Amino acid sequence: MNEPQWAKLLGLANRARKVISGEELSVKEIQKGRAKLVLLSADASPNTKKKIQDKTAYYEVPLKWIDNRYILGQAIGKEARVVAAVTDAGFAKKLSSLLDSPEQK
């Protein structure tokens, strides 16, 4: 399976230490104003979805959906991840545009 462009970029951002993963750590980054983009897995629990959606809405952080936790985890070299926060504006902007493009769906 060919890895999507956004996943490659997220991996690069992760190696540059610009990605925080995990629910609690991501929420902290959102609250501190450091998260520039939050990626949330579509198969997250309803509780987690609500918490992350509420936080990103309140702190006005863009939120993008990823198909499942395994794709998100694999992109950053982990088993499975439900939430990841990108802390770099440049990476966040590029990731956002890649995730919005039709060929990434």
pTM above 0.85, yes or no: yes
| Calpha distance 54→99 (Å, rounded) | 21
Residue type at position 30: I
pLDDT at 2: 77
| Calpha distance 8→93 (Å, rounded) | 15
Banded model confidence at residue 11, pLDDT cuts 50, 70, 90: very high
pLDDT at 41: 98
Thinking of the domain 5-100, which architecture would CATH place it in? Answer: 2-Layer Sandwich (3.30)
Q: What percent of the chain has pLDDT over 70?
A: 95
Alpha helices in 1-105 (DSSP H): 5-15, 23-31, 46-58, 69-75, 89-100
Banded model confidence at residue 104, pLDDT cuts 50, 70, 90: low
What are the tokens at 1? Answer: 């399976």
Query: Residues with Cβ < 8 Å from 99, sequence gap 6 or more?
Result: 6, 64
**81 has a pLDDT exceeding 90:** yes
Kindly state the average pLDDT of the residues 45-74.
97
Q: Which residues are paired to 63 by β-bridges? A: 38
